[in-house]
């Protein structure tokens, strides 16, 4: 059995190595290559797993399982994708398996976070204009933490879709395949998740009254 990995995140992450050179060293069985892989990608994988699972301890388990699965399937890595992207996909699948294995519990509703409409189709309460557009919210480093905390408040089924599509930038079809649902279901969940996220962030980004 593989010994527990040292998943301590360095404050000075190692720059990502070239895929070909590192993969060749891994396949040759170099211990230093595996240590380099862990040192380089642990922080990224921990962030992905924690955001999906909402549990730091489960995230650590997932990262260890990800590195083990990657090591065991190196022969199937053909280099079409970036090594970090390949590892992230493995981590996402490990997270989804963990989510499926959890006991089913009633999921918190997001209905209170969605806009409501009058019979004529107009919103009961018009969405206020923000000082920044929703398109740029996730691109500004200084508000990443705020956005991530708001995402963490979403129920798992919506949080997972939002993370996979908007953060991990997987396609609708890829996410649908991972979750075992239709592409239309993913589109609906993503739309509702974005609406709920906007509601959670609105107090911060609504312009101050003059």
Fold of 19-101: Rna Polymerase Sigma Factor; Chain: A (1.10.1740)
Name the token pair of 102: 């959890």
Does residue 65 surpass a pLDDT of 90? yes
* In the chain, % of residues over pLDDT 90: 19
Mean pLDDT, residues 63-90:
85
Average pLDDT, the chain: 77
pLDDT at residue 3 in the model: 46
Residue boundaries of the structural domains of the chain? 19-101, 111-205
Mean pLDDT, residues 4-23:
56
Helix (H) / strand (E) element for 26: namely: helix 19-27
Instruction: Select 111-205's CATH number: 1.10.1840.10, 1.10.1050.10, 1.10.10.10, 3.40.50.1000.
Output: 1.10.10.10
Max mean pLDDT among 66-70, 80-84, 141-145, 155-159 falls in 66-70
Does residue 107 surpass a pLDDT of 80? no
Using an 8 Å Cβ cutoff, are 28 and 126 in contact?
Answer: no
> With helix as H, strand as E and coil as C, how does 60-120 read?
HHHHHHHHHHHHHCHHHCCCCCCHHHHHHHHHHHHHHHHHHHCCCCCCCCCHHHCCCECCC
pTM of the predicted model as reported, rounded to 2 decimal places: 0.59
Does residue 11 surpass a pLDDT of 50? no
Using an 8 Å Cβ cutoff, are 16 and 44 in contact?
Answer: no
pLDDT at residue 169 in the model: 83
């Amino acid at each position: 059995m593989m010994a527990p990995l040292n998943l301590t995140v360095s404050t000075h992450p190692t720059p990502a190595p070239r895929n070909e050179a590192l993969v060749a060293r891994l396949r040759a069985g170099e211990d230093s290559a595996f240590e380099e892989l862990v040192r380089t990608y642990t922080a990224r994988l921990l962030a992905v797993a924690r955001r999906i699972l909402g549990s730091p301890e489960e995230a650590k388990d997932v990262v260890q399982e990800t590195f083990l699965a990657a090591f065991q399937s190196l022969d199937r890595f053909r280099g079409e994708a970036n090594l970090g992207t390949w590892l992230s996909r493995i981590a996402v699948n490990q997270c989804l398996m963990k989510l499926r294995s959890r006991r089913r519990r009633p999921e918190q509703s997001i209905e209170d976070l969605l806009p409501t409409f009058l019979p004529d189709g107009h919103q009961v309460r018009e969405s206020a204009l923000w000082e920044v557009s929703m398109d740029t919210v996730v691109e500004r480093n200084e508000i990443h933490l705020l956005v991530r905390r708001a995402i963490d408040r979403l129920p798992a089924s919506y949080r997972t879709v939002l993370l996979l599509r908007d953060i991990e930038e997987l396609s609708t079809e890829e996410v649908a395949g991972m979750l075992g649902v239709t592409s239309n279901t993913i589109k609906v969940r993503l739309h509702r998740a974005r609406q709920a996220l906007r509601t959670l962030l609105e107090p911060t980004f609504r312009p101050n009254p003059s």
